[in-house]
Structures are given as structure tokens and as C-alpha cells.
Structure 1
């Protein structure tokens, strides 16, 4: 009964929810979400700086997540690079002084908080020519006004950034009187025009007052209540926001510190001043506001404008637009022709007469339809990770965000199981299943940010290398059994592996090596092909019953192993080979091939292992290539020794295994964000629902791209060798043009 219910349940699900209906639903979701985000941008504005300065939440205890964008954690060398020849001024009371200290410590972590508290404090880094000053003005009065007024004069050098704020001192010395609040409002009204004038040439931020923890306040500070602080903040906001009648105020409100303080003020030592971790967060927000638009870090999307379109991106947009228009014209013409050839009814007999027999879909229609779909999908890629239409957020690792989804997919994988068509070791269904569950684990590893947890990182290294092992095993088995070393087979494999990545390199303006896994798989395929194709070609038919041929194969493999070891331990020779043009254009990342050498060397035997004896990533990465073959062989034995285990497989995992390469590549831009550094946010404010919806769309897109690639491979890579050679010549010319355009583009950037 249980088996019957299980079978009927699967059939019911498959009947009402097919892949085609899922894709239609995904398309509708994309259009709806894009419309909602576009309307939200128009209503709330398109300035992510406003979100950074005014909203956010804590992930865990100390990680601050701004609303809708990613915040970069600046290191001291990055901060100095951004602030070269800059002058930053902090004006205000003891809370502003705290913010000043935290800001300076980003530039110089060794800077100490010392000196008279009620005086000006200078800081200067002469090497980087960075100057940061704290000016003690605890009240909004004539003294603060005069300081600001001097900077508004044309002949005086102005700070590039001004951070000001004060109120608690006024509340304290005037015992929280209403008259003091009225005077504060009058004083800030007189200062507002000066701040507005200064804001036209400098970045000016007014820091709203943080709440206090009233139970910890000393007796001489008991009058500083949260009610009074709110009143002073309201006065500052109402005056500064209305300081210009005809346009929006240029003075930016730094109100996010209030939200930070609400969560952390209980950790304060005196109830008034924030704990160090909280003011460090506020200082990092200030650094992001100013520096993101200058340094443009990948994982700092807040305050970053949309990158300008490159020449290749413009050409790609034109090509896909023409493809979409061409397909629509073809479809309209074909539909009209179909209507003319519709069956007509004989009036005498009442029978239908067919004027034309249904013809198969032409290659031209398949080509145009595939390019049309691909163009729309690439538009979605661009909107997700380049156009700033959708939101992005930072990753934050917890054990639950990694292990709970792992358990969930394991249950689903066990639920969907079927009998295999064959029971040999590493049969096709089994390898698809293996690729599928490994790919799902890798995806969860990426979106959960689990690379920060070393044991998980090392286990995933095993999975990546096991995938490479499977790829190598599959290609070796094909050449060994079939003996097909023809150019058609090679071109088909290379096209299927690289088509999506090449398109993404153009559309997303990224180097080929950025999608490192595809270069790895491609290079190892070519290594296996060349090794087996070179004379003498040794295949199963020749080697049957002959030790001589088996010995020859072993010699080939031994020579290959020797070459791999040499290149792995000779970085200079490796870099010389891959630094040659045009190889350098494919394997360089950030101007050198070191990253490619590291990736290639890490999985040079196509496997890796979690080494329990190592204590850090560097040590683990050195140990695992030497011993991890045990892990992969152990899994193969456990999966295949029991006869029952070979006779069943998980169709759920196998389905994902068939599109594993597309899943791995697509995740960079339409599931993750900021080139895998963050998470794509389609539905803000609800992380769980957002993951469900974005995952659903992501899987549908990956499946569609897999079908598009297969369709195009049949058209672009014909079986006829003469036609294939002509097309290869065209493809070679295309890539030469692409490399030339890439070189011109790189020169124009610098």
C-alpha cells in the first residue's frame, strides 16, 4: 500500500506540475517582480545611499545588513587608497568623538584613544596624505556656526567630508528644559543654510542622536531621556529637510546609527556611549557611503552607480535585439502561412481536406527561437547583477542555514527513486545522481556563506574534485570504449561546456577565468583527449587480451602524471605557458594567471579531501591532493558493492545532475549576487520566501539554458566535416575579433 501511494503521489505531482508549466510560472514571477521593483525605485528613489544611511538590520549579533544593498568591509590599505589627499572633519560632542576614533582606526588600527576629551583631536597619515580632524563643539551654538561658516568662504580650503551632530550636552547642562529645545531649534535653523551651502562642495552628514539606556545613566545625566532625544532629533530633521524650498536638501541624515544603538545600547558601559562594535559599524557605513563610488568593490553595492556598458555589451544587446525581432517576424510570417494552409471543409461531404502535410521545424526557426530565448534570459541576468534593479544582501553563515537545507534535499532525494536501466558500476543514472546531489550541496554551500567554516569548506573541496573526477572518467570511458576521436565529438563537448560561459563573459563583462570551473573541466577534457588521441591510439578493442596495449596505455598515463607533477611544482613554467597570447586572455584574472595556477594545482589529480589534521585553509589545500583519492574510491565502493544500491537511483538528484553545469554557472548572477559575494533579493523583508522564489526561477532558467545549448549545438556543430570546418573557421574569426575588442576595451579602461 505504501509503495502504491508513493507511486500515485508522484504521478499526481508530475501531472499537474510539468517543467513547461514551471517555466511559464517563473516567467510570470520575473515580470511581476521586475514591475514591482521598478515601481518601488520610482516611488522611493533609486539611491541606495539613502537605504544605507537610514535602514538595516543585524544578522546575528554584530553583522549589520543595510536594506537592499551590500556593505563592504574596508581594510586599512583600501581606506587609505580611497582617502588619498582627502580631509574629513568630525564636529560635535563625545558621541561624535567616538565615531571619529572608530573611523580613524579603519585607516590606522594602531591609533589610540587618548588626549583631553574636551578639545580638538587631529589625525594625519602623511604617507597617504589623509587628514581627519575632530573639532570639539558639544552644542549647536554660535561656536559651531562660526566653524562651519569659515568653510563656506570661497578662499578657504574645505573638508571633503563633514560629519556633525550634537544634542545630549544641551539637554544635560539645561536640565532638559523646553526652553533649551526651542533654542536648539533656533540655532540649528541659523546653521542650516551654511550646511546646505557647504554640502554643494562637500559631503555633509548630520548624525541624529542615538537612544540612551536610562537605567545605566549616572545621576548628572538622568535628564537625558529617550523622549528628549526624540524631540531634538525631530527638530533637527524638520529644520534640515526644509532648509531648501525648491529642491531636496543636500545635507544627508545619518539616522542608521539610531537603529544600531537600539539593539546594542544595553551593552553600553555608562548608558550614553555606544559599545565599540556598534560605533565601528557606524564608521564602516560612513566609509562605504564615501568610498564605494570611488573604489567600486564587488561586494559593496551600496552607493555604487550602475557600471557603464562596454562596447561588447552594446554589441551583444544589438545582436540579441535583432534576434528577437527576427524571430517575431519569422513567427508572424510562418503563422500567416499556416493559416492559409489550414484544412478546409468540403461542403458536400462535410469532410476536411488538408492542403499541406505538417512539416518539421526548420533549423532556422530553432536557431532564431533559441537566440530569442537566450536574449531574454541574458536580459534577466543583466537586470539581476548589473542594472541595480533588484536588491542584493550580504551572506551570513550559521550552521542551521547550511545543514537544514541539506537534510531537506536528502529527504526529497530519497522520496524520488527509480530502478536503473543498467546495473554496472558508475552507470549513467548513478553518475547523474552523484553530480546532482553534489551540485545541490555546493549551491547550498555558496548561498549560506559556509566557506567561512573550515570543515564544510574542505568537504566541499572533495565534491568539486569528485565532479572533475567524474568528468574525466566519463570522457576516458567514451574514448576507451567508442574509439571516436573525431573532430565532431570534440567540438560538441567544447561547445556544450563553454557556450554559456562565453556568452556571460560578453554580457556580464567578466573574464573567462572568472567562471573557473568551466576552464578546469575544459582543460582536463582536452588533456584526456590529447593523451588518448596521440599515437599510438589505444582503445578497448585493441587492448582486449593484449598486455602490450595495456602497458602502452599505462606509459601514456604515467607520462601525463609526470607532466602534471612538473607543472604543479613549477609555477614559473606554468605561468610562462598560460601567459602566452591568446591563452593569457582566457586564463588571466586581475592581470595574472596565479588564480588559474592555484585552481588547477588544487585539483590536479581531479580529487580533494577534507584533512582533519589541518588547521587552516592554506594547510588543508596543501594536504588534500595527496591523499583524497581514498575518499572518492570509498564512496564508489559503498555506492556500488551492494547489488540493491546499483539497481536504484534518485531521479530527483539525477534530474539536477543533468543540468549541473548550468546550475553552477547561472548561480553567479541570478541566485547569488555581486559575482557570488552576496545574495539576490527579489522579495525584500522575507528571507525564506525570497530564497524559495529566487531558487525556483534560477532552476527554471538553468534548465532552459541547457535545452537552448543542446539545440544550438545540433545546428552550429554539424556532423558533416566540410561544413564543420567552415563553421570552425567562422568561430575562430569571431573569437579573434572578440580578443581584439577585449584588448582595446582593457586599454581604454586604463
Structure 2
């Protein structure tokens, strides 16, 4: 499949090069005044998704090269052949011009995949080893927090409980600590990292429940857009670097729990309008999780046929139980997404209660908030003293049933006053938007796995090992930039491939992409076969 991916990159590169040449020719004709010709009058029907190109600048409308009537005829002629990609493969000039920016995004995406391969699987750059320094880790995080507070403090658009800006900030600072934990191999904060990962899964339940419950929008197009967001980058990365899906375990976890929230509210959606209906569905989620995870034979019976897809074995520590990793990872957070759904359901009542507290007289308000802080702190202290301080293995046994406690405590304290609810740190919020890209990218352009399916045991260096902090700074700059570009490019390609609403266009795109992928994989396999025969 690697060869197929390389062929795909070459194909997109060729199509993009031809599209740029066509654009250059059109610009040159316009410069020479050929737009005076009736056939060359600029048409307004060239489109770019959202009027934006990947770097965020406004895109000018594209015009047909062969006149409006010819373009219309071409559109009609090619309509039954499928999407614009099929027309591009047939070298239709208008289609190439219309999709030039999407082709550019595909080429840039492919170039970043080549960078992943170059950095991780070749010896082009030196490797470093992890060294834990509590002081350095704490200093980096504290400095970043101070910079964020000093330069990016901003008022939220809506002063509501757990607003979007606040949850993005939450994801951002957790991701920073999660990444530093990996970079410095900071084993002493393992239990905290487990709570952070539970926080991500909690937000999966909270965010998806909030959307589906309020909007009642169970459109397949929106659901497929979410699946694209969660899995496109990881799928391509797995193909290019020959890794298993489970190496990036957070992606299948979020995918599964997103599907479960969608199913919980989408099945029998008419019952979502009653409290009884929602409570029954939440109870059913608990039962399903208990049966499918707590009863281990059931888990293996369900996932056994999918071992080829969900199985994983670290080549440095091989195991015969290929589903162990998936069972272990998903079991740790199997209940917390349901708690996120519950919090989303009671969100209006909690927000109303906070507004009542805000409206109280000063002394009463201070007294009530003092009680809330005292109770919350006491609950957190009990959890910390009885659960958090346990050794890793013992903690993991209790984590699935207790991770909701620190998450709830944080949500209460973070939203106690209008000031706390109304402001967020923009830098952490920005990082929170690219958590998926930074999670996947850390394996191949910050840390290094070095081999297929290997864990990221090494560090990417650009300078000699005698300069660890300079290497950290350079690698981090490249890593964050690449992750941000992947975030933008994934969105651009999603807009090109996944329509807003499900229908014939979505089916058509899936068929064309599946056929193209199959053809490229077959061509790659044929080339490898011919190479073996030649030897």
C-alpha cells in the first residue's frame, strides 16, 4: 500500500502541476488583453469551498477557459461520471481549474507525509534519547502558561457554562502536558495523564450529546464529516508508514464513542424529547458498556473478527494477544463518555443554578461560592488521597470508575464565577483545536518510532545531542507548524470530498474514491511483483 500511496502522490502532483500551468496560461491571456473576446469573459461559477484557500486568504472566482457554453456542456457531459476528481483524471481543463486549490492541498498533505517518512524511517536526522527532568518540564509548562495569560487572554463570545472557547483551552493545556509527558518520559505523572485522556473522552460524550440533543440533526453528511476529521489523517499515516490503526489508540477510541453517542440519540430519536426517554437511553449505555467490556469474553467475541484491523503488537515487545491493547485502552475510559452525556443533559439546569448564584446579594453569593469551593476541594482531596496516589497498576483498576471525579471538580471550579466562565487563554485554545494532529504527528516529527508499529522511544534532533534544549525548540517549532497545516488541509479536503448533506453526491464520492484507491493499490502491488520478477 505504500507504493499505492506514492503513486497517488505522483498523480496529484501531476494534476496540480497541470492545473497551475492552465492557470498560468489563463492569467497570461488575461494580461495580454484577450478578455475582450466574448468567449473569454470571466464567469462567476468557479468555486472554492468557503471562498478560502488553505492558507486562509480569499480566493478569486475561477473562470472557464473555453467559454460559458462549453463549460456548461462539459458539466452536463461529465455529470454522470461522478465527482470533480473523475473529471480531473480525464484532464478536463475546467475541472482542473475549479479544483486547483484542492489539488494544492492534496499535494501539500502528501508532502507532509513524505516528511513524516523522511524524519521517522530514514537516518537523515540524528536520533536522541529521552531524559526526564522535572524542573525542565515544569518550567516549560509554567512559561507557556504565563505567555498565554499575558498575550492571549480573551473574552469568550458567550459567557455560558463550559463554552466552546473554554473547552478548547482545556484540551490545549492538557495536550501540552500529555506531549511533555511523552517527550520527557515523565512516568511520575502517569496517573494525571490518564485523567487528561479521560477528559478528552468525556468531552466526546459532552460535545456530541449537546449537538445532537439540541439540533436534532442526525444527517449522515455531518456524521461522515466527523468520521473524516477523526480518521483521514490517521488512515493515510498508517498507509504511508505501515503502522497499525491501534498505534494511535486515541483515534479509534474517539471514533467508537462518537458512534455510540450518535447511535444512542439517533436510534428512537423521538424519545429524546422526554426525560424518561433520555434516562432510559443513558441507562442502556451503561448496560451495553458493562456487557461489552466488563465481560471480557464478550469483548473478544465482538472484536475478534476485527483483529486484522484493531489488533496491535509492539515489535519490540511482541504479544500473542493482539486485542490486548485495544481492550486495555478502551476499558480505561469506557464509562466516562456516558458521564459526559449526563453533564450535557443537565447542563441547562446547572447553568440556571449558576445564574441564580450570580444574582444573589454579595454576602449570600460569597457564602454559597465558599461552600461550593469547600465541598469540591474536599471531594477532590479524598479522591487524590485514596485513588490518585496509588501505584500505576492499582490506579488503573479504579480509574474507569473514578475519573469523572477530578473532571467534575475541575468543571465546577473553572465555571464558578462569570469572570472564570467568560475568559480563556487563546494560545491554549488554538492548541486545543489541533490536538488530533499534534497527537498523531508526535510519533513521527517530534518523537520517532523508527520502525513500523514501534512505540515512540526516540527524539528527533536537528543538532548534536549536546544541545538538548535547542533541539527541543527546533523540533517543536517544526512539529507545531506541520500539525497546524495538517489541521487546515484536512478541513479543505473534507469540504471537497464530504458534502454537507448525505445523498447521491456522498455515495458518488465514496464510490469514486474507493475505486481510485483500489486501482492505486493494485497498481502498487503489480509494480512490486514486477520488481520481484526482475530480480
Same fold (TM over 0.5): yes
Task: Look up the SS of the partner of 2:460 in the other structure.
Answer: strand
Q: Which residue of 1 aligns with 2:166?
A: 430
RMSD of aligned alpha carbons:
2.8
Are 1:405 and 2:140 counterparts?
yes
Q: Which residue of 1 aligns with 2:347?
A: none
Are 1:686 and 2:409 counterparts?
no
Are 1:550 and 2:275 counterparts?
yes
Q: Which residue of 1 aligns with 2:29?
A: 340
Q: Which residue of 2 aligns with 1:728?
A: 510
Query: Does the 8 Å CA contact 1:341/1:355 hold for their aligned counterparts?
Result: no
Query: Does the 8 Å CA contact 1:394/1:677 hold for their aligned counterparts?
Result: yes
Cα offset for 1:360?
Answer: 2.2
Q: Which residue of 2 aligns with 1:650?
A: 425
C-alpha distance in 1 between matches for 2:335 and 2:200 = 12
Are 1:532 and 2:265 counterparts?
yes
Higher relative contact order (CA 8 A, sep 6+): 2
Q: Which residue of 2 aligns with 1:677?
A: 457
C-alpha distance in 2 between matches for 1:435 and 1:741 = 42
Task: Look up the SS of the partner of 1:341 in the other structure.
Answer: helix
Compare the two structures and name the one with the higher helix fraction: 2
Are 1:599 and 2:329 counterparts?
yes
Q: Which residue of 2 aligns with 1:486?
A: 219
Are 1:619 and 2:355 counterparts?
no
TM-score for both structures, normalised by structure 1: 0.52
Cα offset for 1:408?
Answer: 1.3
Cα offset for 1:743?
Answer: 12
Cα offset for 1:343?
Answer: 7.1
1:309-328 equivalences under 5 Å are: 312-328=1-17
Cα offset for 1:732?
Answer: 5.5
Query: Does the 8 Å CA contact 2:191/2:388 hold for their aligned counterparts?
Result: no
Cα offset for 1:584?
Answer: 2.4
Are 1:666 and 2:401 counterparts?
no
CA pair 604-490 structure 1, distance change in 2 beyond 3 A:
same
Q: Which residue of 1 aligns with 2:299?
A: 574
Task: Look up the SS of the partner of 1:579 in the other structure.
Answer: helix
Query: Does the 8 Å CA contact 2:3/2:521 hold for their aligned counterparts?
Result: no
Extract unaligned runs of 5+ from structure 1.
1-311, 347-353, 544-548, 746-750
Task: Look up the SS of the partner of 2:161 in the other structure.
Answer: coil
Q: Which residue of 2 aligns with 1:504?
A: 237
Q: Which residue of 1 aligns with 2:353?
A: none
Which of 521, 526, 531 is the aligned partner of 2:254?
521
Which of 693, 698, 710 is the aligned partner of 2:479?
698
Query: Does the 8 Å CA contact 1:341/1:356 hold for their aligned counterparts?
Result: no
C-alpha distance in 1 between matches for 2:247 and 2:521 = 16
Any idea what the Cα deviations from partners look like across 1:568-607, whole Å, max 9, x if unmatched?
2211110111111xx3232111262111010010111237
C-alpha distance in 1 between matches for 2:513 and 2:507 = 10
C-alpha distance in 1 between matches for 2:206 and 2:271 = 16
C-alpha distance in 1 between matches for 2:520 and 2:13 = 22
Q: Which residue of 2 aligns with 1:7?
A: none
C-alpha distance in 2 between matches for 1:474 and 1:679 = 34
Which of 415, 421, 433 is the aligned partner of 2:157?
421
Query: Does the 8 Å CA contact 2:4/2:521 hold for their aligned counterparts?
Result: no
CA pair 529-368 structure 1, distance change in 2 beyond 3 A:
same
Q: Which residue of 2 aligns with 1:389?
A: 124
Any idea what the Cα deviations from partners look like across 1:628-660, whole Å, max 9, x if unmatched?
212111111111111111111111111111111
Task: Look up the SS of the partner of 1:393 in the other structure.
Answer: strand
Which of 191, 196, 213 is the aligned partner of 1:463?
196
Query: Does the 8 Å CA contact 2:336/2:403 hold for their aligned counterparts?
Result: no
CA pair 345-484 structure 1, distance change in 2 beyond 3 A:
closer
Are 1:712 and 2:445 counterparts?
no
Q: Which residue of 1 aligns with 2:113?
A: 378
Any idea what the Cα deviations from partners look like across 1:494-526, whole Å, max 9, x if unmatched?
001101000000001101111100000000000
Q: Which residue of 2 aligns with 1:586?
A: 309
C-alpha distance in 2 between matches for 1:740 and 1:402 = 47
Any idea what the Cα deviations from partners look like across 1:10-58, whole Å, max 9, x if unmatched?
xxxxxxxxxxxxxxxxxxxxxxxxxxxxxxxxxxxxxxxxxxxxxxxxx
Query: Does the 8 Å CA contact 2:4/2:522 hold for their aligned counterparts?
Result: no
C-alpha distance in 2 between matches for 1:564 and 1:468 = 14
CA pair 559-445 structure 1, distance change in 2 beyond 3 A:
same
Query: Does the 8 Å CA contact 1:343/1:355 hold for their aligned counterparts?
Result: no
Any idea what the Cα deviations from partners look like across 1:314-337, whole Å, max 9, x if unmatched?
221121122122212211221121
CA pair 536-394 structure 1, distance change in 2 beyond 3 A:
same
Compare the two structures and name the one with the higher strand fraction: 1
C-alpha distance in 2 between matches for 1:479 and 1:741 = 42
CA pair 741-587 structure 1, distance change in 2 beyond 3 A:
farther
Task: Look up the SS of the partner of 1:467 in the other structure.
Answer: helix
Any idea what the Cα deviations from partners look like across 1:137-172, whole Å, max 9, x if unmatched?
xxxxxxxxxxxxxxxxxxxxxxxxxxxxxxxxxxxx
Cα offset for 1:409?
Answer: 1.5
Task: Look up the SS of the partner of 2:419 in the other structure.
Answer: helix
Any idea what the Cα deviations from partners look like across 1:661-687, whole Å, max 9, x if unmatched?
111111111011124211111122311
Cα offset for 1:735?
Answer: 7.7
Cα offset for 1:356?
Answer: 3.9
Query: Does the 8 Å CA contact 2:2/2:239 hold for their aligned counterparts?
Result: yes
1:17-28 equivalences under 5 Å are: none
CA pair 584-397 structure 1, distance change in 2 beyond 3 A:
same
C-alpha distance in 1 between matches for 2:18 and 2:34 = 30
